[in-house]
Amino acid sequence: MKSLLGEERSFIIESDDDDDDEEDPTHRDGAGGSSSDSSSCASPRGGSGGGGGDSQPNSYTNQWPQSYRQSIDILSSVQSPSLGFLGTPTLSRLSNSFLNSSFLNNSFRGKTPEVISNLVKPLIRPTTSDEQQQQQQHHEDIRKSSQYLLPSRKPSLQQIPEDQKPLVVGHEVSPYQQCSYTQGAMNGINVLCGVGILSTPYAIKQGGWLGLVILLVFALLAWYTGVLLRRCLDSKEGLQTYPDIGHAAFGTTGRIAISIILYVELYACCIEYLILESDNLSKLFPNVHLNIWGLAINSHVFFAILTTLVVMPTTWLRDLTCLSYISAGGVVASILVVICLCWIGVVDHVGFENKGTALNLPGIPIAIGLYGYCYSGHGVFPNIYSSLKNRNQFPSILFTCIGFSTILFTAAAVMGYKMFGESTESQFTLNLPENLVVSKIAVWATVANPITKYALTITPLAMSLEELLPRSQQKYSNIIILRSALVVSTLIIALSVPFFALVMALIGSLFAMLVTYILPCACFLAILKAKATWYQTATCSFIIAVGVTCACVGTYSSLSGIVQNYST
């Protein structure tokens, strides 16, 4: 593994990965429990500490996008907060890949576990009741750390030519850590419980009550395809991300194609965030408008521009762990919004007089896209799996994430549609009575969440594009310009296509069907077809057929709806 300090560093420490091939099975399976509940966790990079971090072949680590894992780790895991901007001094720009590789090994070379223990002691002494348990865990961590930090037998010092030195603009994440069961489940729920919950009542309006069956079927299939991704990751050494799986299944073409699909999906989600902010802030302040040089700017356009100006500086941050830490409140925000919805219906006696439609066939394609969007978290699941202390818990964690999210989606859908019926808006927050305090709490909770998640969502795409810049153009000023241009482009599209439900249905129909249902099955069959049973082959073929059908029908209906809105 190669790691760089910064532009002015021309040397790296390089170690052979031969020792990683002879991995202790006990060491790979981890501790077998969720013994740690620290506030942050991130996928291990290049080490094998407790959770089976596999050595990565050069064919996976040296191809675009090299930044995928690091950027998705920041998006998916709750990090301890810190703050910094691009272009800070060199030592503060140390990327996580550097901290977790040869530099760390060589820094502790020759040190005994006791010395390492002194270096990693916490600043605050644990409470008396927890001291014995903490001490036992600490000794176990020292034992693992001493194994992880042992240097390879063949270290070498290699000089990097000036024209080959990549620029390190990495976003720092916490040093090598691993997730417990609780942390993994929380990270997964935080990814799934996003803005999709706001449109679930509208999805029932489109497809009828029986359309909820689609939501439940998608949940079951999403769990199964998530388990398939785990099988793919375990099939070969070094597979740790979704692009890695694509590489193993279909070569470099598969890696690039899957990466592009994942990045475009994230980009589309950023567009959706701006539309959401514009709609909900306009509900709070409907009379806001500007008139500049004869150009009238209504409240929707004004708040879309304002949101863009607010989130743009957050995309310049070198260290996004602060936003990652705050964005963990997305789970709380989603639960709070559903509670507010139920409160308004039950306590304030709003609605509940609408019976609704049992089945609306013309609206089923849009409902498919909206329900599909709810389970568009598979691009992150491989990273969560790679970060687990005990990887055998992944199917259970996945079941917990999807099960909890489905309950929340169903509750919001049933309550919202029962309250508002055929007048249900694309986001149920737009239906809430303006005079109620609970309504304002729900709307503000909805508004706050995307602001913290925008930078986390756009950063993976930004970092992948920065890798493609010529060496002479990899300057911090150019990087800030690139990121700002990305943000402005999402604003332009959001203003051009301000249809929240239709854009969400398009994302769910096209990208979610690919990432969540079609590609996991295709990759599984490509990698493990020789070992797959007839039942697995038949199930994967069925899911692919369902995914392709839903993608075609949903995408066509979404695009038709957008065109129709333009023509009216």
Neighbours of 360 (CB within 10 A): 18
For residue 126, the model assigns a pLDDT of 45
Domain ranges of the chain: 199-462+472-567
Specify which residues 158 forms β-bridges with: 12
pLDDT band for position 41 (cuts 50, 70, 90): low
* pLDDT above 90 (res 70): no
Q: Provide the residue type at 30 as one letter.
A: G
For residue 117, the model assigns a pLDDT of 44
290 vs 439: CA distance, rounded Å: 26
* pLDDT tens digit sequence for 112-169: 444 444 444 443 444 455 555 555 555 555 444 433 333 343 333 344 444 444 444 4
For residue 17, the model assigns a pLDDT of 42
Q: How far is CA 545 from CA 109, 183, 257, 265, 372, in A?
A: 54, 34, 20, 21, 15
* pLDDT above 80 (res 320): no
* pLDDT above 90 (res 561): yes
* pLDDT tens digit sequence for 431-469: 999 889 999 999 999 999 888 889 999 999 999 999 888
Residue with structure tokens 């979704």? 242
For residue 95, the model assigns a pLDDT of 36
Least confident of 14-18, 78-82, 110-114, 476-480: 14-18
pLDDT band for position 78 (cuts 50, 70, 90): low
Least confident of 101-105, 183-187, 197-201, 354-358: 101-105
Average pLDDT over residues 199-225: 96
For residue 435, the model assigns a pLDDT of 87
* pLDDT above 90 (res 208): yes
pLDDT band for position 566 (cuts 50, 70, 90): confident
Least confident of 145-159, 405-419, 511-525: 145-159
For residue 157, the model assigns a pLDDT of 36
Q: Provide the residue type at 421 as one letter.
A: G
For residue 65, the model assigns a pLDDT of 82
pTM for this prediction: 0.75
356 vs 347: CA distance, rounded Å: 22
532 vs 524: CA distance, rounded Å: 9
541 vs 519: CA distance, rounded Å: 11
Average pLDDT over residues 82-94: 40
At the topology level, CATH places domain 199-462+472-567 in: Amino acid/polyamine transporter I (1.20.1740)
For residue 434, the model assigns a pLDDT of 87
* pLDDT tens digit sequence for 153-196: 333 334 444 444 444 444 444 433 578 898 899 989 989 988 99
| Six token digits for residue 561 | 């709806």
Give φ, ψ of 516 to 5 degrees: -90, -35
Cis peptide leading into residue 65 (ω within 30°):
yes
Kindly write down the DSSP assignment for every residue of 476-544, as one continuous string. Answer: HHHHHHHHHHHHHHHHHHHHH---HHHHHHHIIIIIIIIIIIIHHHHHHHHHHTTT--HHHHHHHHHHH
Q: What angle do CA 251, 537, 68 make, to 5 degrees?
A: 35
* pLDDT above 90 (res 554): yes
More confident residue, 354 or 409: 409
pLDDT band for position 92 (cuts 50, 70, 90): very low
pLDDT band for position 61 (cuts 50, 70, 90): low
Specify which residues 85 forms β-bridges with: 317
Locate the DSSP E strands across 264-371: 290-292, 295-297
More confident residue, 24 or 549: 549
307 vs 483: CA distance, rounded Å: 15
Closest by CA to 205, choosing from 414, 3, 373, 472, is 414
372 vs 534: CA distance, rounded Å: 27
For residue 14, the model assigns a pLDDT of 39
Average pLDDT over residues 387-413: 94
Closest by CA to 387, choosing from 67, 134, 72, is 72
pLDDT band for position 352 (cuts 50, 70, 90): confident
79 vs 324: CA distance, rounded Å: 6
Average pLDDT, the chain: 78
3-state class (DSSP) for residue 221: helix
For residue 89, the model assigns a pLDDT of 37
| Six token digits for residue 117 | 């223990």
More confident residue, 229 or 22: 229
Specify which residues 159 forms β-bridges with: 11
Q: What angle do CA 526, 373, 369 make, to 5 degrees?
A: 95
For residue 60, the model assigns a pLDDT of 63
The CB-side HSE value for 409 (13 A sphere, CA atoms) comes to 32
Q: Provide the residue type at 215 as one letter.
A: L
* pLDDT tens digit sequence for 4-35: 333 433 333 333 444 444 444 444 444 444 44
Residue 417 contacts residue 424 (beta carbons within 8 Å): yes
Q: Provide the residue type at 489 as one letter.
A: S
19 vs 16: CA distance, rounded Å: 8
For residue 244, the model assigns a pLDDT of 93
363 vs 374: CA distance, rounded Å: 17
* pLDDT above 70 (res 58): no
